Amino acid sequence: TNTVVDTVDVGNNPQGVAVNPSTNHIYVVNAFFDNTVSVIDGANNTVVATVTVGNSPSDVAVNPSTNRIYVANAVDFAGNDVSVIDGATNTVVATVTVGSFTFPSGVAVNPSTNRVYVTKSASNDVSVIDGATNTIVATVTVGDQPRGVAVNPSTNRIYVANQDSNTVSVIDGANNTIVATVIVGTEPVGVAVNPATNHIYVANSDGNDVSVIDGATNTIVATV
């Protein structure tokens, strides 16, 4: 019906949001001095828990297979990090440091490989975390000021929107190498994947348009 069926009050300045379809729980990061994650029960649209994480959380991703939630904390002067939440208990079970003053801004998960990808806008790279051990297993250099990140679990490809270089870096998850760099619109910040069609959608904030990438050829097939 494309109508609003409910409105849920969360914390201050909500930023990223992610869903666990297996548990029907929704996770909303509340940034700027709130530093929490609101956990919403999708069955009744109520906040069932509020989890304290790091400073200025900017994005959140879920691994439905493990029921772990990953929160990128953009500003923590003791060391920028990722909070790992156990979805069964709504508690932080690990904190993974991804380097001082690197400003993690985006996070995505491949449930098939249990790898977590964290973009760091100040260091122009992506930290790859092993979800089984909560350790960094690789660091991949991408374009200038990486922001959004998305995964196609079917192809094990990771797509990183680089805001200042107007490109998308394509990472092969098997060996953590860049296999393509796709020129998109102006200041890309958001990216999402449709695994069924292998199409990637990139939101270009300064161009007010969306670039559509064919994941098979790594070429632009449409601009919306």
pLDDT tens track for 75-121: 755 558 999 999 999 999 999 999 888 899 999 999 999 999 999 99
Q: Is 131 helix (H, G, I), strand (E, B) or coil?
A: coil
Percent of the chain with pLDDT over 70: 98
Amino acid at 94: A
Both structure tokens of 89: 């208990």
Measuring CA to CA, which residue among 49, 93, 100 is closest to residue 73?
100
pLDDT over threshold 60, residue 17: yes
Q: What is the dihedral of CA 148, 224, 154, 60, to 10 degrees?
A: 30
CA angle, 61 then 167 then 177, to 5°: 65
Contacts for 208 with CB less than 8 Å, ≥ 6 apart:
none
Long-range contacts of residues 39-46, Cβ cutoff 8 Å, at least 24 apart: 39/90, 40/8, 40/10, 45/5, 45/6, 45/8, 46/8
Both structure tokens of 189: 């910040």
Contacts for 132 with CB less than 8 Å, ≥ 6 apart:
114
Q: How far apart are CA 142 and CA 125, in angstroms?
A: 5
Tell me what pLDDT residue 100 has.
Answer: 81
| Mean of pLDDT over the chain | 96
Q: What mean pLDDT is predicted for residues 36-51?
A: 98
> 195: how many CB neighbours lie within 10 A of its CB?
13
How many angstroms separate the Cα of 102 from the Cα of each of 114, 120, 129, 192, 219? Answer: 23, 5, 15, 23, 30
Contacts for 46 with CB less than 8 Å, ≥ 6 apart:
8, 40
How many angstroms separate the Cα of 204 from the Cα of each of 45, 58, 188, 211? Answer: 31, 18, 4, 7
Tell me what pLDDT residue 79 has.
Answer: 56
Q: What is the pTM of this model?
A: 0.96
Tally of residues, the chain: 224
Strand order in 81-86's β-sheet?
57-63, 68-73, 81-86, 91-97
